[in-house]
Structure 1
Amino acid sequence: MIQKKICLLGGFAVGKTSLVRRFITDMFSEQYHTTIGVTIEKKTLLVADQDVTLMIWDLYGEDDFQKMRESYLRGSSGYILVADGMRRSTLDTAEALHRLAQATLGPVPFVLIVNKVDQVKEWEIDDATLARLRQQGWLVFTGSAKTGDGVPELFMQLTQTLLAAA
């Protein structure tokens, strides 16, 4: 069996924990819980006839008061950047965390998910911005922890990319 550590990185209250909960249990809760430190979950996927166990590190949100510890990133095979489509500043945070992750881990696979596509009419992040990131080689998903849209595809695509990179 193959095991891969992946980290979820993003600003405060972008939906990292909700995305993990949706992926692991296929459930969503309206109650907000701040992640203190790190929460680790695991799930096994079948990819190309191989069982791959993802060790998912849900890291606390980064903001002006709390910076991510690089030590949490060590040993990661890849990571997921999470931004809240309704707050443009969270994409800036995701881009800064991407630079930190690349400096710490080197060029490992990653994906970006812009969360809350169920409220796309209220988004501050536009298609042109996402197109620019795709042109830079980013795998960009839009999705919703609330409805589940895009969540399984996000984790499956990252897992396939991790296996191809191994």
Structure 2
Amino acid sequence: MIQKKICMLGAFAVGKTSLVARYVHGIFSEKYQTTVGVKIDKKVVTVGHQEVSLVLWDLYGEDQFQRVQPFYLRGSSGYLLVADGTRSETLEVAQSIQQRAQEVLGPVPFILMLNKRDLPWAVSEAQLNDLRASGWDIRYTSAKTGEGVEESFESLAKRMLEQS
């Protein structure tokens, strides 16, 4: 069985932990839990005819005081950037994280999960179209309803296998 490390990256309180809980355990909780350091989960999926063990590193959120350390990223085969669709500033944080992640990891696959689709939106399509034009794969997700969650993780898994 192939094992692939995926990092969950994004600003503080965008829903990284909730997305992992929805994907791995099929649950959602309204209770907010701050991630301290890193929380690691695993899920075995089948991509094509290949079993893959996804090792999900849920990293603490970034803010103006705290940045993800490069050593957490090492060994990742891909990453999921998470932004909160109700707070457009989290999209800017995701863009700066993406630049740093690319410096550490090189051109590994990534997907931007624009989370909280079940709430009123604050991100403009113009912002997203600019990112799409530069090659970003953007998915709308809701950890609460499950919308787009499984598809995002599985799409990244498939792209990582194609690249290895």
Q: Same fold (TM over 0.5)?
A: yes
Which residue of structure 2 aligns with residue 151 of structure 1?
149
Query: 1:7-156 maps to which residues of 2 (within 5 A)?
Result: 7-119=7-119, 122-156=120-154
Q: Deviations over 1:40-79 (max 9, x none)?
A: 0000110111101100000000001111111000000000
Q: Distance in 2 between matches of 1:45 and 1:129?
A: 33
Q: CA deviation at 1:135?
A: 1.2
Query: Which secondary structure state, in structure 1, belongs to the residue aligned with residue 39 of structure 2?
Result: strand
Q: Distance in 1 between matches of 2:124 and 2:139?
A: 13
Q: CA deviation at 1:116?
A: 0.5
Q: Distance in 1 between matches of 2:163 and 2:125?
A: 28
Q: Which moved more, 1:145-154 or 1:130-139?
A: 130-139
Q: Distance in 2 between matches of 1:159 and 1:130?
A: 23
Structure 1: which amino acid aligns with 2:83?
A
Structure 1: which amino acid aligns with 2:141?
G
Q: Distance in 2 between matches of 1:92 and 1:133?
A: 11
Structure 2: which amino acid aligns with 1:20?
V
Query: Which secondary structure state, in structure 2, belongs to the residue aligned with residue 67 of structure 1?
Result: coil
TM-score by length of 2: 0.98
Q: CA deviation at 1:128?
A: 1.9
Query: Which secondary structure state, in structure 1, belongs to the residue aligned with residue 118 of structure 2?
Result: helix
Where in structure 1 are there 5+ consecutive unaligned residues? Answer: none
Which residue of structure 2 aligns with residue 161 of structure 1?
159
Q: CA deviation at 1:132?
A: 1.6
RMSD: 0.6
Where in structure 2 are there 5+ consecutive unaligned residues? Answer: none
